[in-house]
């Protein structure tokens, strides 16, 4: 199996990182590839850096239109059967694509892997692998927000085109919204164990970090759409329903810090529809879980707040 893979790099004001991203694409040991970069109206020196790669890559630039519009433009420019998205401030390990291509089969539309998360602190760089827990049921993984960042998967180009591409007005949770429509479109997901894409976290200026309540709102919209789809198509299981409600619980816990009323509303929606819900895992440690069980969500949150 030797399909062509298009490595697609959207860039906006990533002068510090873009050279490494492009070089990591060019350094892939998989030979049947092309590297395409679209500069989305950068106002720093990104375009100058991109041009230095000359004929090694395909590139174009234009006015700033946003991430998903740029990703769709890259999709139109590429000729590969499979695509590898790579944000301009991230990078790939050299064998990433060859290893994933070797794991493909005819029934796969999205081959996803863990990512290596790289934190940039003032005096250090810390890297850790974000594992993807079992079961590798993509519906559960989407509900729990465990499906990985955009640079992890290999995506079958026709599968993305077949569901209309990236949603161009989606402000946050963009890959999660795409994952949802792929699942609703019957596309097949396959897990691969290697973590060979590196996702940097270095900026606090992204929308999802600046306005986390806004991001949580859009996450809940995706959870509701997922739940509705599973119920309407006879695909809901106890495990999937629990995962969706656990996601709502985690969202409510985060929302409590700034908007307790909204947090209580989220939890009420669970109890009104499903009765007693018992959380578990890292977001509900033993002492919290006991307070929650005996006194309810609001009291558990007040106790947790006093103990912080």
pLDDT above 90 for 306: no
- Residue 185 pLDDT grade (very low, low, confident, very high; cuts 50, 70, 90): very high
Instruction: Report pTM.
Output: 0.94
In tens, the pLDDT along 116-140 reads 999 887 788 899 999 999 999 999 9
Eight-class DSSP state of 175: H
Reading phi first (left if > 0) and then psi (alpha if -120 to 50, else beta), residue 69 is in alpha
pLDDT score of 210: 64
Q: Domain 5-203: what homologous superfamily?
A: Spore Coat Polysaccharide Biosynthesis Protein SpsA; Chain A (3.90.550.10)
The pLDDT assigned to 205 comes to: 54
In this model, does residue 209 exceed pLDDT 80? no
Q: In this predicted model, what pLDDT tens digit does every residue of 163-176 receive, in sequence order?
A: 999 999 999 999 99
- Per-domain residue ranges for the chain? 5-203, 211-307
Task: Name the helix (H) or strand (E) containing 84.
Answer: strand 82-85
Residue 298 CA to residue 267 CA, distance in Å, equals 9
Task: Give 217-234 pLDDT, tens digit per residue.
Answer: 999 999 999 999 999 999
Q: Does 272 score more than 90 pLDDT?
A: no
Q: How distant, in Å, are the alpha carbons of 69, 86, 302, 308 from that of 295? A: 48, 47, 11, 19
Check residue 208 and give its pLDDT.
Answer: 45
């Amino acid at each position: 199996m030797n399909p062509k893979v298009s490595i697609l790099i959207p860039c906006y004001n990533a002068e510090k990182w873009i050279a490494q991203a492009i070089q990591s694409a060019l350094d892939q040991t998989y030979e049947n590839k092309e590297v395409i970069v679209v500069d989305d109206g950068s106002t720093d020196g990104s375009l100058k850096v991109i041009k230095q790669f000359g004929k090694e890559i395909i590139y174009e630039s234009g006015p700033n239109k946003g991430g998903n519009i740029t990703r769709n433009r890259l999709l139109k420019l590429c000729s590969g059967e499979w695509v590898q998205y790579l944000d301009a401030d991230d990078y790939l390990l050299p064998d990433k694509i060859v290893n994933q291509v070797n794991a493909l089969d005819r029934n796969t539309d999205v081959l996803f892997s863990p990512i290596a998360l790289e934190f940039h602190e003032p005096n250090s760089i810390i890297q850790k692998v974000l594992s993807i827990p079992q079961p590798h049921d993509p519906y559960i993984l989407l509900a729990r927000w465990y499906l990985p960042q955009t640079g992890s998967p290999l995506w079958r180009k026709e599968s993305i085109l077949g569901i209309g591409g990236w949603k161009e007005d989606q402000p946050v949770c963009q890959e999660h919204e795409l994952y949802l429509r792929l699942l609703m479109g019957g596309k097949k997901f396959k897990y691969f164990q290697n973590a060979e894409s590196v996702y940097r976290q270095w900026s606090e200026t992204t929308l999802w970090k600046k306005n986390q309540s806004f991001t949580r709102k859009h996450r809940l919209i995706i959870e509701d759409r997922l739940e509705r789809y599973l119920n309407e198509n006879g695909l809901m299981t106890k495990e999937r329903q629990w995962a969706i409600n656990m996601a709502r619980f985690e969202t409510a816990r985060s929302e409590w810090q700034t908007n307790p009323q909204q947090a209580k509303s989220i939890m009420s929606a669970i109890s009104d529809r499903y009765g007693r819900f018992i959380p578990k895992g890292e977001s509900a440690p033993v002492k919290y879980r006991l307070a929650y069980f005996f006194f309810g969500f609001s009291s558990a949150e007040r106790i947790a707040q006093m103990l912080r």
